[in-house]
Amino acid sequence: MDKPLSKITLEMPSHTRPHAPPSPLPFHLFPARISKILSLEHSKFLLASSSKPIFKGSLHKNRVHSISHAIFSKLEVIADADNEREGETSDIAKLKRKVEALGIKTYSCIPGLYDHLICPECNGGGSMERSLSFHISQNRNFAMWRCFRLECGWAGQVFADNRKFSPGVHQLAKINFPRSSLTDESLRLEPLGDELLTYFAERMISKKTLEKNYVMQVAGGRKIIAFTYRRNGLLVGCKYRTVDKKFWQEKGTEKIFYGLDNIADADEIIIVEGEMDKLSMEEAGFFNCVSVPDGAPQTVSLTELPSSEKDNRFQYLWNCKDYLDKVSRILLATDGDIPGQALAEELTRRLGRERCWQVNWPKKDEFNSFKDANEVLKYLGTDALRDVIDKAEVYQTHDWN
């Protein structure tokens, strides 16, 4: 005789409820046993098994939405409990009970992603900053966190099982989070004001995308954009830009991709030449995208590749090696000019030509093509940008002699 079905209710606070009709929840948010009652179609938005670079429609149809559009205010899910012991709870439920007993609110957290929450130890300081970087592992075995406010630094982790070094909520193992002296406060960063929001809107970049990527401005009314670089949710660098395209970086900035956390679990990625292009890709639904931090070289070096220790111009590749080693296919969406082509060539020399694909920007007129992702987004729209990515081709080596 079949056992009765158990009922799971997911709650979302009223103040975070989306105003627009919500999108379907990501499949990994549901317990693994849900199958018979709730039929959710799920596939990775980039498939290593595809014989084409990206099969048409695959990326944008399966893109992951932000949590504000992913969770209903109240969703009831009927779970198949055939093989579960009566009264047994899921690993994620155990984790959430443990961390919530410590004051960490986890209602918006998705396994595999990093969330920024109010730290219960320091309450985010006087500005109520969301300074707690919180992460539930993709396999739901453990959760870890660290407050990146210098005045606090509270960190810990808990496990779903009863490991001897973490049998309960009050015995937390130490975590080796990367140390950084950079914080929003130390850099005097603040949310984007109306003028800079208008600047981005004219380039088809929404406030939602800007907030998701922690794009800020320097306090003081100087209209300086701050692209914050983060690893595991922790601020490790900052690149500044004025509206007239002057760039500089914060001293001590770690050389990594912009948007690195977005490719932590990706099988295939897109690499672009600038932060604005990375944001543009997100507007078209491509979240598995990163930007190089230092732009493009003027030409391709004709000398042998230097060792990783001496490869200063491309040190960010070596600093992100653990991420890149897991990737099976790389789409190079660098600028269409000569430096952009040189950058693509230098990247393939280091990443391996066999896994690199080339994005070709559409024609603007008889003699010219659009330069980059933001130009395509601005003048042709999201559908055109998706189409360009879908039509990426196997990378062809250029003769630079």
The two three-digit tokens of residue 8, written as one number: 């799971």
- pLDDT tens-digit profile of 290-349? 999 988 888 888 888 888 888 989 999 999 999 999 999 999 999 999 999 999 999 999
Token pair, residue 126, equals 């006087």
DSSP label at residue 258: B
Strand order in the sheet with 247-249: 189-191, 215-218, 224-231, 234-242, 247-249
Mean pLDDT of the chain: 76
Q: How confident is residue 152, by pLDDT bands cut at 50, 70 and 90? A: confident
Look-up of token digits 């920024």? 116
How does pLDDT run across 33-89, given as a tens digit for each residue?
333 333 333 433 343 334 444 433 344 434 444 333 333 333 333 333 333 333 335
| 119 DSSP 8-state letter | -
What is the C-alpha separation between 33 and 300, in angstroms, rounded? Answer: 52
Q: Please, which contacts does 316-320 make with residues 24 or more away whose CB atoms are closer than 8 Å?
A: 316/255, 316/256, 316/257, 316/292, 317/347, 317/350, 317/351, 319/254, 319/255, 319/256, 320/256, 320/257, 320/260
pLDDT at 157: 82
End-to-end CA distance of the chain: 76
What does the alpha-carbon distance between residue 123 and residue 105 come to, in Å, rounded to a whole number?
12
| pLDDT band for position 92 (cuts 50, 70, 90) | confident
Q: In what order do the strands lie in the sheet with 142-147?
A: 114-117, 132-136, 142-147, 155-159
Share of the chain above pLDDT 70, in %: 71
| Inter-CA distances, 13 with 10, 22, 108, Å | 10, 15, 9
pLDDT at 251: 81
d(CA 242, CA 363): 29
Q: Which of 1-10, 58-67, 124-133, 161-170 has the lowest mean pLDDT?
A: 58-67
How far, in Å, are 69, 73, 355 from residue 12 at the CA level? 12, 5, 41
The residue-averaged pLDDT of 127-147 equals 82
Whole-model pTM over 0.85: no
Residues 264-306: pLDDT tens digits? 989 999 999 999 999 999 999 999 999 999 888 888 888 888 8
In this structure, are residues 106 and 96 in contact, taking their beta carbons and an 8 Å threshold? yes
For residues 314 and 319, what is the distance between their CA atoms, to the nearest angstrom? 9
Band (pLDDT 50/70/90 cuts) for residue 194 is: very high
**Which of 26-30, 127-131, 271-275 holds the top average pLDDT?**
271-275
CA distance 390 to 53: 7
- Tokens 């920007």, located at residue: 361
What values do phi and psi take at 189, rounded to 5? Answer: -95, 150
Q: Is the pLDDT of residue 105 over 80?
A: yes
Amino acid at 146: R
9 alpha-carbon distance from chain centroid? 28
